[in-house]
């Protein structure tokens, strides 16, 4: 019965395909499109001729919501974009509004912000590593990564009560003082991570299959990265030593001594190595920051009613996925007139087609994993 | 507890809940739900708000090779080059905007298009601000280029200069309805293809949209 | 009664029925073992809710699979869609017939047993191909194409490794292969001054590919092809494919054990001195250990039924230990024990692979097969042949 009610399949001459080509719809329900990404692949056998992303399945109109909320009310919403790195999102938004208000953030608040953001960066990279390995077929690392990520989430939980969408920062500084064992917890987390990163290296870096699956796959050189606006670990893996924490230091990052890991060829393996090293560098920053949290207030001179003068500001930070920018326009009222988010995942995903052409189906999955997208941020 | 408790002890234990000293309700219940509650007339002093003069973002002139070169080359098209709150801003006319972008890219190394976005000002004659944010790796500098676009006017696309403009311009089109000339594939990107209206315009009614959706799909009136 | 037992058809028939009835249960517990071992590798517990430590999980799974809706896609080729899992299961179970489970427990000792197994495993590949083709889904189609290419490529080194072992043994009969290993006093894997290790390793690699297990699980690569050839299958039909996959694992492992690891022989079968430790102490001790573990577990159970179940399992293993201690019963079951033990080690190896390796890509899989495994297996054959000829006359 059911068969008769279906429309007949289109005749071959009505499709735009060559007789050897095949269109494969990957997603939005697919195990490894990291949520609701839909990629329409044009294939010749297993070889990819082109990839067209269809996004927007998770679009919630975050930028529209901002128009109808006050500055403070909107702050929790930004956590829901890149929910894996909610702290970074919050930091960027708070800094953009602080720029409009032109307030000074006390050094204590800045130090705590740096610590929590770096812990969050490690948590985000851990999630990336686990899922990326899962995409390539290694099913064990994801559990190990989640085990360590749990420790990071515990720090957030102890600090502000929330684990994922933390809303850890407030405009002007912090809401909460650090808890009693904050420093010890952060240092213990650093110890743990430095230990465990070695374990991941033992499991993956020396694995011939892992190397074979990632070396030379999805190459994006420095020129293409700039052309496609690709930032973050993808850009650094292509050999450009560019990190906003170094290039345009914010929130006191200039006080800390850390390296910007880079690689040369810009393939999937290099991005893996760069992110692994970044976890180590984040630990370095946390150690320095924890050792020198200054005493003092945790909130700058910000009134209860936030009403920035008319104007606009673009503030960007180095989120785990790349340059995360907030372009906030104020008309002098209580609500932001316009909040534009420059999401790193969205822009980086734009290079997917470029990276996928000529690879195999299995590589598409690896490349989606290596871009490290979070669909909440792509679709907003 | 084991064994019988001595009677004196039980007498001395304090009552578990403190005795309420005042009655539960201060005021008698209002009769009739619709009766207006009277506020004390003139009892509370009305605080007169003196409207403060709104602060302004600090502006400073922008000096250096880039603005002078820009001024030299596009003398009539550039409205102003300033540093607004520490951030470099070029305001120009729409016609020369792609030339400015190309000039900044080729002559000054602004090789990274960070963002393309727009702001809607419905009360203005030219309703939209279109904003390009450019970054130069060699100068470590960020520049914002702003032009105004009127309703129905097409903006020039910069996809031929930066591939990243592809999706960003599609998003501006999707959200604001600004069309881009010479864009290779101008479709909606976040909203469904059949969507009507442009959500990020200030006059886009979200309550209206909610009501329509609820009426159509749930067959009831929305409570919003 | 005596007449009935003397009939040559009765024994095999009874065993066949027993295998068909018991095998799904064994597969269920293999799945449980796989989940538990994987869980152990991945710092988690695995199934813990159904029964004590999840021991009843296979039954719950089976019930769920049987009760699920049986969906046939609208544009599927219904007959082939129906046929494919049947074909897979049929060939998988048929191959079990020639496996010598112990010195006296086998359905048939065919003189071309090994060829029969290879033939069945080749036809089994047809089940995957037809299943993927008939579902009329692109993911299924790609999965089945991968399966076809993979099976064809990896059957060659598998065949060469098998031929090397047969050459060593001088017979195609499965029992004969084991007998020859007993006579030569060494397991196939270590024969010919260790040169037989080459085909042994190749056999394990190619066997993993032949059974579509990680890291060669491309036909059903879940992160790429959703579920590969069985994307459109559900419920009972899907579980048939599952059964076939595990039947293939058992067959390949059993073949490997038989050809290279002495089948149901104990380690060092010719050394009389080791008779007692290997044939009595080791199996009985193992059973006692498990029984002791179960008894310890009894105390931790809260539900009374679970306690009883744990105690029953402990009692069963105590009974098994008793079987190994008594000389009369020992003789009956010791072959089966060693066969099952070696099979278990092989299956553990398969699970271990799955827990640690990422997946190969299609072209890399072909590279490994054609550029490495096939030349090496041919070289191994020639080398072993030469050594056989020179050293043994």
What digits encode the pLDDT tens for the residues B148-184? 898 888 888 888 888 889 899 999 998 898 988 888 8
Could you tell me the residue range of the domain that residue C28 belongs to? 1-67
pLDDT tens digits, B189-201: 888 888 878 888 8
- Identify the residue whose tokens are 């398969």: C350
pLDDT at A4: 42
Secondary structure of residue B143 in the 3-state scheme: strand
Nearest to A229 among B87, B164, B200 (CB): B164
Same domain (yes/no): C155, C196: yes
Query: How many pairs of residues across A and C have Cβ atoms under 8 Å apart?
Result: 90
| C223–A365 C-beta distance less than 8 A | yes
- Is B138 contained in some domain? yes
* Domain termination site, one of C12, C32, C67: C67
CA distance, residue B209 to nearest chain A CA (Å): 13
Q: Hey, is the C-beta of C360 within 8 angstroms of any chain A C-beta?
A: yes
Q: Hey, is the C-beta of C356 within 8 angstroms of any chain A C-beta?
A: yes
Nearest residue of chain B to residue A329 (CA atoms): B119
Same domain (yes/no): C2, C58: yes
- With beta carbons under 8 A apart, name residues in chain B contacting A250: none
- Is C310 contained in some domain? no
Name the H helices within A49-106.
62-67, 71-79, 86-101
Q: How many CA atoms lie within 13 A of A215 on its CB side?
A: 10
- Is B154 contained in some domain? yes
Same domain (yes/no): C32, C133: no
Secondary structure of residue C77 in the 3-state scheme: coil
Same domain (yes/no): B83, B125: yes
Same domain (yes/no): B146, B69: yes
Same domain (yes/no): B69, B155: yes
- Is B34 contained in some domain? no
- Is B7 contained in some domain? no
Same domain (yes/no): B185, B202: no
- Is B126 contained in some domain? yes
Domain count, chain B: 2
Nearest to C226 among A30, A140, A364 (CB): A30
Q: How far apart are CA B120 and CA B149, in angstroms?
A: 10
- Is B223 contained in some domain? yes
Q: Which residues contact C313 (CB under 8 A, 6 or more apart)?
A: C55, C294
Nearest to A229 among B58, B87, B112 (CB): B112
| B206–A342 C-beta distance less than 8 A | no
CA distance, residue B99 to nearest chain A CA (Å): 18
Same domain (yes/no): C16, C164: no
Chains B and C physically touch (3 or more Cβ atom pairs below 8 Å):
no
Q: Hey, is the C-beta of A254 within 8 angstroms of any chain B C-beta?
A: no
Nearest residue of chain A to residue C364 (CA atoms): A212
DSSP states along B2-47: -SPPPHHHHHHSPPSSPPP-S-S-SSPPPSSTTSPPPPPTTTSPPP
- Is C278 contained in some domain? no
Interface of A with B in 279-318 (CB under 8 A): 309-314, 316
Same domain (yes/no): C35, C173: no
- The pTM of the full predicted model, rounded to 2 decimals, is 0.83
Q: Hey, is the C-beta of A68 within 8 angstroms of any chain B C-beta?
A: yes
CA distance, residue A194 to nearest chain B CA (Å): 32
pLDDT tens digits, B31-44: 555 555 555 555 56
Same domain (yes/no): C20, C141: no
Same domain (yes/no): C182, C251: yes
- Is C172 contained in some domain? yes
- Identify the residue whose tokens are 């191959």: C95
Q: How many CA atoms lie within 13 A of A306 on its CB side?
A: 25
Using 50, 70 and 90 to split pLDDT, how confident is the model at C274?
A: confident
Same domain (yes/no): B86, B167: yes
* Domain termination site, one of C67, C95, C119: C67
CA distance, residue C251 to nearest chain A CA (Å): 25
Same domain (yes/no): C72, C13: no
Q: Hey, is the C-beta of A77 within 8 angstroms of any chain B C-beta?
A: no
Could you tell me the residue range of the domain that residue B154 belongs to? 61-190
Same domain (yes/no): B222, B125: no
CA distance, residue B211 to nearest chain A CA (Å): 17
Q: Hey, is the C-beta of C45 within 8 angstroms of any chain A C-beta?
A: no
Same domain (yes/no): B84, B105: yes
Residue among A61, A239, A242, A244 with most chain B CBs within 10 A, to mutate: A61
- Is C178 contained in some domain? yes
- With beta carbons under 8 A apart, name residues in chain B contacting A342: 114-115, 117, 133
- Is C283 contained in some domain? no
Secondary structure of residue B163 in the 3-state scheme: coil
Domain count, chain C: 2
- Is C274 contained in some domain? no
Same domain (yes/no): B215, B131: no
- Is C43 contained in some domain? yes
CA distance, residue A253 to nearest chain B CA (Å): 17
Q: Which two tokens stand for residue C235?
A: 């419920």
- Is C137 contained in some domain? yes
- With beta carbons under 8 A apart, name residues in chain C contacting A3: 74-75
- With beta carbons under 8 A apart, name residues in chain C contacting A364: 224
Contact assessment for residue A117 and residue A322, using Cβ atoms and an 8 Å cutoff? no
Q: How far apart are CA C146 and CA C383, in angstroms?
A: 32
pLDDT at B3: 44
CA distance, residue B216 to nearest chain A CA (Å): 20
Q: Which residues of A touch C (CB under 8 A)?
A: 2-3, 6, 9, 22, 24-25, 30-32, 46, 133-140, 143-144, 147, 203-204, 207, 209-210, 212-213, 360-365
- With beta carbons under 8 A apart, name residues in chain A contacting B101: none
pLDDT tens digits, A107-136: 999 999 999 999 999 999 999 999 999 888
- Is B96 contained in some domain? yes
Residue among A28, A40, A56, A96 with most chain B CBs within 10 A, to mutate: A56
- With beta carbons under 8 A apart, name residues in chain C contacting A361: 142, 224-225, 362
Same domain (yes/no): C122, C200: yes
Main-chain dihedrals φ then ψ at residue A304, nearest 5 degrees: -70, -30
Q: Hey, is the C-beta of A241 within 8 angstroms of any chain B C-beta?
A: no
Same domain (yes/no): C180, C31: no
Residue among B101, B120, B139, B167 with most chain A CBs within 10 A, to mutate: B167
Contact assessment for residue C170 and residue C181, using Cβ atoms and an 8 Å cutoff? no
| A325–B114 C-beta distance less than 8 A | yes
Q: How far apart are CA C104 and CA C263, in angstroms?
A: 12
pLDDT at A123: 92
* Domain termination site, one of C29, C50, C67: C67
Phi-psi region of C174 (alpha: psi -120 to 50; beta: other; left: phi over 0): alpha
| C138–A362 C-beta distance less than 8 A | no
| A229–B113 C-beta distance less than 8 A | yes
Looking at residue B76, what DSSP letter applies?
T
- CATH number where B76 lies: 3.30.460.80
Same domain (yes/no): C30, C127: no
CA distance, residue C217 to nearest chain A CA (Å): 9
Same domain (yes/no): C152, C50: no
Helix axes of C113-134 and C78-96: crossing angle, nearest 10 degrees: 160
Same domain (yes/no): B118, B221: no
| A362–C359 C-beta distance less than 8 A | yes
pLDDT in tens, chain A (380 residues): 334 455 555 555 555 556 677 888 887 888 777 878 888 888 887 888 888 888 888 888 888 888 888 998 899 999 888 888 899 999 999 999 988 888 888 999 999 999 999 999 999 999 999 999 988 888 888 999 998 999 999 999 999 888 888 888 888 888 888 888 888 999 999 999 988 998 888 888 888 889 988 988 888 888 888 889 899 899 999 988 888 888 888 888 888 988 899 888 888 999 999 999 999 999 999 999 988 888 888 888 887 888 888 888 999 999 999 899 999 998 888 889 999 999 999 999 988 888 888 888 888 988 998 988 888 888 88
- Is B27 contained in some domain? no
Helix axes of A361-371 and A107-136: crossing angle, nearest 10 degrees: 170
Q: How far apart are CA C133 and CA C83, in angstroms?
A: 12
| C223–A136 C-beta distance less than 8 A | yes
pLDDT at A327: 92
Helix axes of C174-184 and C113-134: crossing angle, nearest 10 degrees: 130
Same domain (yes/no): B169, B112: yes
């Amino acid at each position: 019965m059911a068969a008769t009610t279906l429309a007949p399949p289109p005749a071959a001459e009505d499709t735009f395909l060559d007789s050897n080509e095949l269109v494969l719809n990957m997603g939005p329900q697919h195990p490894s499109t990291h949520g609701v990404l839909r990629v329409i692949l044009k294939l010749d056998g297993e070889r990819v001729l082109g990839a067209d992303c269809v996004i927007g399945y998770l679009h919630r109109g975050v930028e529209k919501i901002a128009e109808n909320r006050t500055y403070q009310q909107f702050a929790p919403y930004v956590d829901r974009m890149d929910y894996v790195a909610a702290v970074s999102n919050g930091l960027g938004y708070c800094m953009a509004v602080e720029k409009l208000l032109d307030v000074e953030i006390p050094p204590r608040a800045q130090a705590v912000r740096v610590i929590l953001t770096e812990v969050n960066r490690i948590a985000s990279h851990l999630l990336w590593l686990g899922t990326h390995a899962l995409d390539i077929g290694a099913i064990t690392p994801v559990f190990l990564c989640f085990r360590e990520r749990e420790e990071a989430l515990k720090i957030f939980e102890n600090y502000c009560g929330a684990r994922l969408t933390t809303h850890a920062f407030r405009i002007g500084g912090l809401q909460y003082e650090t808890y009693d064992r904050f420093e010890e917890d952060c240092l213990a987390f650093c110890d743990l991570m430095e230990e465990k990163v070695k374990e991941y290296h033992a499991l993956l870096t020396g694995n011939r299959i892992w190397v074979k699956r990632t070396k030379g796959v999805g190459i994006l050189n420095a020129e293409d990265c700039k052309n496609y606006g690709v930032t973050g670990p993808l850009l650094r893996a292509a050999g450009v030593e560019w990190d906003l924490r170094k290039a345009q230091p914010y929130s006191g990052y200039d006080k800390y001594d850390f390296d910007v890991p880079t690689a040369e060829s810009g393939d999937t393996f290099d991005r893996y190595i760069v992110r692994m090293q970044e976890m180590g560098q984040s630990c370095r920053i946390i150690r320095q920051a924890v050792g020198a949290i200054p005493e003092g207030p945790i909130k700058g001179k910000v009134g209860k009613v936030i009403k920035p003068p008319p104007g606009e500001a673009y503030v960007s930070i180095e989120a785990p996925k790349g340059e995360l920018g907030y372009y906030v326009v104020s008309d002098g009222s209580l609500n932001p007139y316009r909040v534009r988010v420059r999401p790193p995942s969205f822009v980086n995903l734009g290079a997917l087609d470029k990276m996928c052409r000529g690879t195999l189906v299995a590589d598409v999955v690896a490349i989606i994993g290596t871009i490290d997208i979070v669909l909440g941020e792509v679709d907003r | 507890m084991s064994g019988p408790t001595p009677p004196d002890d039980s007498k001395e234990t304090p009552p578990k809940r403190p005795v309420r000293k005042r009655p539960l309700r201060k005021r008698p219940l209002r009769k009739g739900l619709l009766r207006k509650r009277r506020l004390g007339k003139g009892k509370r002093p009305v605080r007169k708000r003196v409207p403060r003069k709104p602060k302004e973002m600090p502006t400073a002139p922008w000096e250096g090779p880039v603005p002078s070169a820009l001024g030299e080359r596009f003398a009539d098209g550039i409205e102003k080059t300033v540093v607004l709150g520490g951030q470099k801003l070029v305001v120009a006319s729409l016609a020369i905007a792609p030339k400015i972008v190309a000039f900044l890219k080729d002559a000054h190394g602004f090789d990274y298009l960070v963002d393309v976005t727009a702001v809607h000002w419905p009360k203005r004659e030219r309703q939209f601000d279109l904003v390009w944010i450019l970054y130069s790796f060699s100068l470590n500098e960020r520049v914002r280029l702003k032009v105004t676009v009127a309703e129905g006017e097409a903006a020039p696309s910069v996809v031929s200069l930066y591939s990243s403009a592809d999706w960003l311009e599609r998003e501006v089109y999707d959200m604001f309805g600004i069309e881009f000339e010479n864009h290779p594939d101008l479709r909606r990107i976040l909203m469904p293809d059949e969507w009507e209206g442009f959500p990020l315009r200030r006059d886009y009614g979200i309550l209206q949209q909610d009501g329509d959706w609820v009426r159509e799909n749930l067959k009831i009136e929305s409570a919003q | 009664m005596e007449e009935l037992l003397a009939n040559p058809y009765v024994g095999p028939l009874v065993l066949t029925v027993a295998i068909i009835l018991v095998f799904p249960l064994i597969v269920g517990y293999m799945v449980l073992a796989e989940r538990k071992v994987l869980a152990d590798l991945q710092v988690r517990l695995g199934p813990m809710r159904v029964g004590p430590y999840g021991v009843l999980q296979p039954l719950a799974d089976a019930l769920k699979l049987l009760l699920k809706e049986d969906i046939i896609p609208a544009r599927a080729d219904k007959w082939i869609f129906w046929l494919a899992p049947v074909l897979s299961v049929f060939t998988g179970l048929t191959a079990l017939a020639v496996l010598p489970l112990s010195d006296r427990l086998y359905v048939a000792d065919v003189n071309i047993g090994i060829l029969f197994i290879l033939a069945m495993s080749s036809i089994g590949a047809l089940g995957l191909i037809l299943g993927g083709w008939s579902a009329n889904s692109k993911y299924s189609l790609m999965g089945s194409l991968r399966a076809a290419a993979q099976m064809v490529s990896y059957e060659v080194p598998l065949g060469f490794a098998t031929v090397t072992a047969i050459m060593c043994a001088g017979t195609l009969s499965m029992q004969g292969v084991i007998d020859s290993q007993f006579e030569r006093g060494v397991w196939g894997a270590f024969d010919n001054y260790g040169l037989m290790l080459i085909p042994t390793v190749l056999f394990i690699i190619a066997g993993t590919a032949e059974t579509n297990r990680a890291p060669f699980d491309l036909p059903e690569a879940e992160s790429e092809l959703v579920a590969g050839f069985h994307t459109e299958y559900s419920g009972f039909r899907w579980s048939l494919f599952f059964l076939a996959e595990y039947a293939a694992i058992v067959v390949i492992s059993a073949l490997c054990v038989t050809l290279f690891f002495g089948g149901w022989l104990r380690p060092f079968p010719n050394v009389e001195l080791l008779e007692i430790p290997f044939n009595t102490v080791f199996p009985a001790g193992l059973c006692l250990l498990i029984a002791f573990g179960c008894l310890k577990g009894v105390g931790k159970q809260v539900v009374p039924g679970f306690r009883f179940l744990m105690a029953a399992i402990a009692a069963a293993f105590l009974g098994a230990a008793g079987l190994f201690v008594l000389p009369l019963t020992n003789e009956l079951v010791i072959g089966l024990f060693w066969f099952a033990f070696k099979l278990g080690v092989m299956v553990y190896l398969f699970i271990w692979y799955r827990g640690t390796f990422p997946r190969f890509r299609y072209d890399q899989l072909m590279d490994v097969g054609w550029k490495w495994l096939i030349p090496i297996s041919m070289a191994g054959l020639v080398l072993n042949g030469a050594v056989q000829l020179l050293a043994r006359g």
